């Protein structure tokens, strides 16, 4: 899907065919914005011929670029940035690429997903066309500012999750799933930091006016976006420390539980050992008097059976008292 906007002479013209845009590109007072969602190869070729884009930047626009970047060409800059999905409560936070071709009086934005940031700008132009800066670099600022601000709800969501995990660890609730949640959030934070670090550098270049296609007044707005993304990066650092603290608390709780279990097992094994030790001489006596020799002195004695039990009980009581005195029992 392709949407086009042309701002000229205090009016906005929508949905102009791509080939017709050439005459507006020659008008220095006009601003052209083309937004492409899931473009076909034919639409890529049409854009490349109309705007004269270099084939290398077009190749990059057709594939997913893992890290944000900015390339400078004679008549435009090619910028790759990443936004995130707003459905961040799912399995993984999805990273979504948005490509920009920014020239003196044109902006081409390309994305393979439904971009709420592009939709936000379209709605803003339609609702208040007179109150919007109609420069190409400002259009780009509006889109970038909107999806950078979309990081903050995700950070708030992770803050709540980390607090919940800490409460569960302290109360020792749901420990079976706590480790899984800790690893998930830690992985997501690292995943996002790897994307934001180079993105921060790209936005910094736009705020410093390293390129002639960014006006001074717009660079001030990009500076504000840069401040926002620095806050996002700082929040991610803080959340990484918090989730590390939650992991340490989790391991501490598990260690305490294991120590308690181990102490109980040691106490049980000590009692069982004492019982086994007491029965060792008794077993010896039983073995001796259980031998089937023909001539056994106590067998024909009237009190032999009683004598045997007296020896057994006396030995058992003596050993128990001995262990008690040594504080082994």
Would you write out the chain's pLDDT as a tens digit for each of its 329 residues? Answer: 888 888 887 778 888 888 888 888 888 788 889 999 998 899 899 898 888 899 999 999 999 888 889 999 989 999 999 888 756 555 567 788 899 999 988 999 999 888 888 888 888 887 776 656 678 999 999 999 998 988 888 888 888 888 888 888 877 777 777 878 888 888 888 888 888 888 889 999 989 877 888 888 889 999 999 999 999 999 888 888 888 888 888 887 777 777 777 778 877 887 888 888 888 888 888 887 777 777 777 777 777 778 888 888 888 888 888 878 877 76
Residues 217 and 282 in one domain: no
Look up the CATH number of the domain holding residue 312: 1.20.58
What pLDDT, on the 0 to 100 scale, is given for residue 166? 81
Q: Count CB atoms within 10 A of the CB of residue 277.
A: 14
Distance CA 183, CA 160 (A): 16
User: Which helix H or strand E contains 237, and what residues bound it?
Assistant: helix 216-289
Q: What is the DSSP letter of 301?
A: -
Q: Are residues 16 and 98 in the same domain?
A: yes
Residue 113 and residue 224 share a domain: yes
3-state secondary structure 307-322: HHHHHHHHHHHHHHHH
> What is the value of pTM for the model shown?
0.74
User: What does the DSSP 8-state code read for residue 18?
Assistant: G
Its domain, for residue 96, covers: 2-255
15 φψ region: left (φ > 0), alpha (ψ -120 to 50), beta (else): left
Residue with token string 């390309």: 110
* 113 shares its domain with 22: yes
Q: How many residues are there in the chain?
A: 329
Asked if residue 42 belongs to a domain, the reply is yes
Report the number of distinct structural domains present in the chain.
2
Q: What gap in Å lies between CA 258 and CA 266, rounded to an integer?
A: 12
Task: Please give the Cα distance from 4 to 18 (Å, whole number).
Answer: 8
Q: Does 190 map to a domain?
A: yes
Cα 2 to Cα 38, 237, 316: the distances in Å are 9, 39, 95
Per the domain annotation, does 180 fall within a domain? yes
Contacts 24+ apart (CB under 8 A), 230-236: 230/200, 232/148, 232/151, 232/152, 232/155, 232/196, 233/193, 233/196, 233/197, 233/200, 235/155, 236/155, 236/189, 236/192, 236/193, 236/196
248 and 280 fall within a common domain: no
Q: What is the CATH number of the domain that holds 229?
A: 3.30.460.20
**Run of H or E including 157:** helix 151-171
Contacts of 273 (CB under 8 A, 6+ apart): none
Do 84 and 154 contact (CB within 8 A), yes or no? Answer: yes
Shared domain for 79 and 157, answered yes or no, is yes
For residue 155, is it within any domain?
A: yes
| 57 and 93 share one domain | yes
Say yes or no: 137 and 70 in one domain: yes
Note whether residue 269 is domain-resident: no
Do 181 and 303 sit in the same domain of this protein? no
Looking at the fold, whether 37 and 115 belong to one and the same domain comes out as yes
Q: Is residue 160 part of a domain?
A: yes
In a domain, 260, yes or no: no
263, part of any domain: no
* Two structure tokens written together for 97: 């690429």
Task: Indicate if 133 and 82 belong to the same structural domain.
Answer: yes
Same-domain pairing of 208 and 246: yes
């Amino acid at each position: 899907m392709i949407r086009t906007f042309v701002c000229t002479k205090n009016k906005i013209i929508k949905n102009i065919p791509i080939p017709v845009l050439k005459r507006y590109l020659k008008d220095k007072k006009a601003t052209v914005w083309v937004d492409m969602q899931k473009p076909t190869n034919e639409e890529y070729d049409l854009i490349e011929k109309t705007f004269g884009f270099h084939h290398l930047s077009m190749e990059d626009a057709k594939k997913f670029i893992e890290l944000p970047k900015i390339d400078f060409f004679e008549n435009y800059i090619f910028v790759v940035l990443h936004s995130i999905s707003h459905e961040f409560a799912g399995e993984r936070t999805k990273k979504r690429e948005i490509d920009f071709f920014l020239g003196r009086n044109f902006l081409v934005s390309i994305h393979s997903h439904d971009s709420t940031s592009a939709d936000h700008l379209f709605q803003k132009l339609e609702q208040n066309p007179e109150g919007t800066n109609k420069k190409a670099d400002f259009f780009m600022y509006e889109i970038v500012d909107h999806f950078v601000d979309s990081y903050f709800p995700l950070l708030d969501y992770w803050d709540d999750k980390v607090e919940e995990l800490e409460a569960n660890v302290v109360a020792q609730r749901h420990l079976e799933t706590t480790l899984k949640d800790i690893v998930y959030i830690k992985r997501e934070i690292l995943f996002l930091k790897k994307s934001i670090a180079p993105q921060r550098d790209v936005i910094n270049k736009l705020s410093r006016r390293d390129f002639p296609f960014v006006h001074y007044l717009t660079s001030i707005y990009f500076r504000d976006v840069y401040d926002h993304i620095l806050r996002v990066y700082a929040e991610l650092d803080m959340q990484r420390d918090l989730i590390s603290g939650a992991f340490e608390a989790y391991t501490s709780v598990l260690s305490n539980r294991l120590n308690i279990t181990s102490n109980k097992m040691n106490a049980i094994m000590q009692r069982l050992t004492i019982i086994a030790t007491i029965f060792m001489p008794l077993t010896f006596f039983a073995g001796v008097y259980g031998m089937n020799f023909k001539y056994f002195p106590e067998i024909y004695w009237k009190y032999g059976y009683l004598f045997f039990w007296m020896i057994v009980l006396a030995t058992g009581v003596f050993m128990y008292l001995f262990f008690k005195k040594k504080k082994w029992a």
